[in-house]
Structure 1
Amino acid sequence: MRTSLALNFLNIQNQELKNILKLEENFNVDEWKILGLRIWPYIRISLSTAWVNKLNTINAEKTFLYKKSKYQSRLASIVRKVNSLKFYFSFLIRFASAFNNSSYPVISSSTKLTTGIFGFDVDRVHTDKGYYNRYSDSLIETGIIEEDKCIHFERCLLGSRTPFRPFVDITHYYWLSALLGWVLVPIFVLTVRLNPEISNAYAWCVSNSLDGSALKTRNIIFTYLTLRVQRELYKHLISKYRLNKVIKVGWYDVDGMALAWACNRAGIPFVDIQHGMAGANNHRAYSCWSKIPLAGYELLPSDYWCWSKVDADSIIDWYIYLNTYKSDKVRIIGIPFANYALTTSFNELFSCDEEINFLLSLTQKYRHTVIVSLAEEIPQIIIEAIKGSHLDIFWLIRYHPTLISKLDKIKSEIASLNNTEIYHSSTLPLYALLKICSCNITEWSATFFDASAMKVPTIFVSGMALTSFPEFLSSGEALFADSPVSLLSAIRNLPQ
């Protein structure tokens, strides 16, 4: 195993990653087990995700993205609790309906060895021939995977939508594992004993003002049970469809870890496809695993398909020390959808000339057209910039796919901002929109890489970008704005 002494610790810019490395330095995290399973990968991801969210909030406040009063914070907390209650009440309904979903084509069990591709319907983009998956369909269209040798599996978050290619709906696997986890937790809490070091690690987090919720016994047991149930369900899928390889878009959620565990037990490769920020950004799921068993963790992938050499090198940096490493385990494939966007068939499939021409008619009197790529709500810095540019800048506001169903409500909230468009900006392919834009604006998302592939500059507006994209900012490949004034200045200095 390696320790963080083998890493260039001082060069790590991400504070959350520094804290993770301190934990790996001070505790035997690779020996933390629950019923034989080394659970550190889940804890590492959960802890650092919580810390990133906290840091994002702090940096947002520092860069004037928003400042919440005590009243606003209290109201936001109440809203979260109400939404949680709504989730619990709708749980059984969604769980039952998942088993009776007949909206998708039925795919029978396989009679030959097959590659399984696992993903989410939020990665789908509308075409006249059905909703196209930016990952699985692009892998086929660009020739990385042969169509007759693979089968698609998806967890559906957005409801029934006609797919470009048929797939197996596995939404109920998620609900079943969560339900059984909730039911079994009280029993296991009374019988399972965890490594005492975990309690010490929790105390360390508290003493350093860090969220240590992922280290609480009840949370670890619930996660283990969820993973275990999903592992058994995925083992059934692997057997039923005779899968000899599994590919997953983003390994570092509970679904991905359970799938990795099932593949490890079945003795077949589990390939992670990079979904967004990764090794090039010191991402917690891909960078600086400083304490890891020589045989690896059962919850980690065996293979990685990366967007760039920098992303790949970040994985090889630690993977090379394991006895499971081989040179073909880390592969550079580029961004699948970006690769496809450069082909002639992309323009034929995504025939959105009418919509693009409509947008051009809206933007023709403006000096610049920019696209804003959002994960959640629109930051205040952008709202203020929009208000200060009604004469010379048109803003295409692109919301995350999970918010598409709320576009009408969102549109009404910013209806007074006449130099904006939301619907086409959120539903058309990003690459089609980038072709008519001066720049891409985002808080700190991986749309930077999409824009870069299309030779479109990105302006970041969150302090988190300073630690996630330092090399690109220092090289001038990306810009940073910390106020409406600096954002507008950066846009107006771009060539038309």
Structure 2
Amino acid sequence: MPREMKSHQDIHDYIVAIESDFPVDTWSVNGIHVWPYIRIKIYYTLIHLVEGTSNLKPYKKHQKKNAGFFKRLKTKFFELFYYLNSIQRQTCQQVMFATLSLYRVGYDGLFFHKFFDAMIKAHHLEGKTTIIEIQGIRANSYNQTGLIDGISLRNGHKILNRLTRWLPQYKTSSIECNLPLYDSFFERILEDSCIGTNLDLEKDSIVKWANKVKATSIVYKKLFEKRRTQRFVTISYYGFDDMAAALFAANSLGVETVDFQHGPQTNVHMAYSSWTRIPKNGFNTMPKVYWNWDQKSKEHLSSWWKLMDGSKIIGHPWLAMTQSENQFYKNCDFLYTLQLINESNFKYFFPEQILKLMRQDCFSWILRIHPRNGTGINLIQEFLQKNNVPQEHYSIENPSTIPLATSLKSCGMHITNYSGCLIEASILKKQTIIIDQTGYLFFKNYIDNELVYFLDKHKDNFSDRVIEIYTSRKTGKKKIKLEIYNPFTGL
């Protein structure tokens, strides 16, 4: 077993080895399957180690100063009322969504959900469905009355629990803990220096997490029952306790649970790959159906998730919505889509061969940063300036302000290390050059040397080969008509 992680493949092999050695598919606490939670924690700890992103500061909302007693009391009354009103509202909403805030972008002066709102708008579903905003509602969001504030919802539930916990029916029940060989697993984790000891995977911590999920699931169970929900669609199903709670509630009610593709679902993305030990009916804290952008993504999901119709192609609503818009935008030669950047990995994304290309006067660049990137644009500019890249040769693009389809239409060629934008470029038939071994590992099934190429960014002839491919590209515009899927299909 590897003690040092150097690649995504090492991470993949490490996790698969754990699944081979331990009965992870049987691990549950009070009926909550816990392995998906543990697997994702291990995966992202190792991802940060391999990619050098562990010192990226997590996004935090602005913390307000402590309010006075009466203001806090007013807030608690509001949250309690909000919760009671939400779960008691009897209406028919066959489809409900749940999301994180990062999938909202600026569109027509509103914060617009790239995937869900695109479907809602196209099929006039504003009054027929609801989006649960797990991280709270942003002001000036599209279809604001069709949103549920996840923060107020769970805070109201907690307040009600505190008020009623003395009642006999709310007394804590005994814990049913089924974790065979967990102690041996935990010992192995502690011994592996590549992971360290800060994962908080002690048995007591796992029990505490499962109890929290079970308690929170009551909120969503009542929500789904009152609204007669038949389909629950998440995006980024993993990483948030409320998502696990909502999925557990929906699965226990027989509501169809769906994960909507939000990025690359590659052979080494361990939320979407190589689940080798799965309970007969799947994990109850995971979706049972996966909606995919394209055929290759569907095929990959189907390689391990064998449920009939458990993986479907539904397309990319945001691309479909924005592909034909005549939004004015400057043309460029190269669109370079980036991953999470910090000061320690600038040279990874801008090695000498890339810098050499960027210094050439005959090429213009757009550098599209990652949606979750906290590094200031000025730091990127300072790095490029120190490396003699003229500022007029490039512009830095925030994905929350410019649709990807607009950028792809405006560029001559797309370049990336391993961004999922490659899939979107492929859907729009825009040529892409993968420049990193990790990207090759992720997307080797897309490489055909016509639409998608691979060039190692560290090779001496890299810049010459990029220019050769770029100058020989086909420049005729391809007519592509994408359809927007109706999320009520099949109900």
CA distance in 2, matches of 1:339, 1:482: 32
Query: Is the CA contact 1:205–1:211 (under 8 Å) kept in the aligned structure 2?
Result: yes
Describe the shift of the 1:335–1:100 C-alpha distance in structure 2 as closer, same or farther (beyond 3 A): same
Partner of 1:253: 239
Task: Give the 5 Å matches for 1:109-120.
Answer: 109=89, 111-120=91-100
1:313 and 2:299 matched:
yes
Query: Is the CA contact 1:21–1:290 (under 8 Å) kept in the aligned structure 2?
Result: yes
CA distance in 1, matches of 2:246, 2:10: 30
Alpha-carbon distance, 1:298 to partner:
0.9
3-state SS of 1:118 partner: strand
Query: Is the CA contact 2:319–2:404 (under 8 Å) kept in the aligned structure 1?
Result: no
**Amino acid of the structure 1 residue aligned with 2:363:** I
- CA distances 1:207-242 after superposition (whole Å, capped 9, x unpaired): 454426253335424432442343222223323444
Describe the shift of the 1:229–1:334 C-alpha distance in structure 2 as closer, same or farther (beyond 3 A): same
3-state SS of 1:456 partner: coil
Partner of 2:253: 266
Partner of 1:422: 396
Describe the shift of the 1:301–1:218 C-alpha distance in structure 2 as closer, same or farther (beyond 3 A): same
- CA distances 1:426-471 after superposition (whole Å, capped 9, x unpaired): 6211110111212223332211111112222333444422322232
CA distance in 1, matches of 2:455, 2:153: 39
1:392 and 2:362 matched:
yes
1:135 and 2:122 matched:
no
1:478 and 2:453 matched:
yes
CA distance in 2, matches of 1:169, 1:334: 26
Alpha-carbon distance, 1:273 to partner:
0.8
Aligned equivalent of 1:48, options 43, 46, 69: 43
Alpha-carbon distance, 1:35 to partner:
2.8
Partner of 1:200: 184
**Amino acid of the structure 1 residue aligned with 2:246:** L
1:172 and 2:182 matched:
no
- CA distances 1:133-183 after superposition (whole Å, capped 9, x unpaired): 11102223555x955532222234795343266442434169749999xx9
Partner of 1:432: 406
Partner of 1:121: 101
Count residues in correspondence: 429
Partner of 2:339: 374
CA distance in 2, matches of 1:376, 1:382: 8
Aligned equivalent of 1:281, options 234, 257, 267: 267
Describe the shift of the 1:195–1:88 C-alpha distance in structure 2 as closer, same or farther (beyond 3 A): farther
**Amino acid of the structure 1 residue aligned with 2:195:** D
Alpha-carbon distance, 1:386 to partner:
4.0
TM-score norm. by structure 1 comes to: 0.72
- CA distances 1:351-385 after superposition (whole Å, capped 9, x unpaired): 631xx1xx34xx5xxxx333333333473244453
CA distance in 2, matches of 1:253, 1:461: 29
Aligned equivalent of 1:155, options 134, 158, 181: 134
Partner of 2:195: 211
CA distance in 1, matches of 2:144, 2:377: 29
- CA distances 1:360-416 after superposition (whole Å, capped 9, x unpaired): 4xx5xxxx3333333334732444534653312222122233448x75655764584
3-state SS of 2:269 partner: coil
CA distance in 2, matches of 1:263, 1:443: 37
3-state SS of 1:47 partner: helix
Describe the shift of the 1:283–1:99 C-alpha distance in structure 2 as closer, same or farther (beyond 3 A): farther
Describe the shift of the 1:339–1:488 C-alpha distance in structure 2 as closer, same or farther (beyond 3 A): same
Aligned equivalent of 2:316, options 335, 356, 379: 335
Partner of 2:485: none
3-state SS of 2:130 partner: strand
Describe the shift of the 1:469–1:235 C-alpha distance in structure 2 as closer, same or farther (beyond 3 A): same
Query: Is the CA contact 1:444–1:462 (under 8 Å) kept in the aligned structure 2?
Result: yes
1:469 and 2:443 matched:
yes
Describe the shift of the 1:411–1:201 C-alpha distance in structure 2 as closer, same or farther (beyond 3 A): closer
**Amino acid of the structure 2 residue aligned with 1:330:** S
Query: Is the CA contact 2:356–2:463 (under 8 Å) kept in the aligned structure 1?
Result: no
CA distance in 1, matches of 2:289, 2:278: 16
Greater displacement, 20-29 / 281-290: 281-290
3-state SS of 2:92 partner: coil
CA distance in 2, matches of 1:36, 1:372: 42
Partner of 1:66: none
Query: Is the CA contact 2:96–2:130 (under 8 Å) kept in the aligned structure 1?
Result: yes
CA distance in 2, matches of 1:99, 1:281: 48
Describe the shift of the 1:288–1:319 C-alpha distance in structure 2 as closer, same or farther (beyond 3 A): same
- CA distances 1:183-220 after superposition (whole Å, capped 9, x unpaired): 9xxxx9xx897736222112223445442625333542
3-state SS of 1:25 partner: helix
Bigger share in helix: 1
Alpha-carbon distance, 1:260 to partner:
1.0
Give me the identity figure in percent. 21
Describe the shift of the 1:400–1:318 C-alpha distance in structure 2 as closer, same or farther (beyond 3 A): closer
Greater displacement, 414-423 / 266-275: 414-423
CA distance in 2, matches of 1:389, 1:485: 15
CA distance in 1, matches of 2:212, 2:327: 42
CA distance in 2, matches of 1:233, 1:157: 15
CA distance in 2, matches of 1:29, 1:230: 23
CA distance in 1, matches of 2:371, 2:137: 9
Query: Is the CA contact 1:201–1:215 (under 8 Å) kept in the aligned structure 2?
Result: no
TM-score norm. by structure 2 comes to: 0.73
Aligned equivalent of 1:232, options 218, 231, 256: 218
- CA distances 1:259-292 after superposition (whole Å, capped 9, x unpaired): 21010122211111111121x5343222222212
3-state SS of 1:439 partner: strand
CA distance in 2, matches of 1:283, 1:31: 23
Describe the shift of the 1:427–1:491 C-alpha distance in structure 2 as closer, same or farther (beyond 3 A): farther
Q: Which runs of 5+ in 2 are unaligned?
A: 1-7, 80-84, 163-171, 472-491
Query: Is the CA contact 2:154–2:216 (under 8 Å) kept in the aligned structure 1?
Result: no
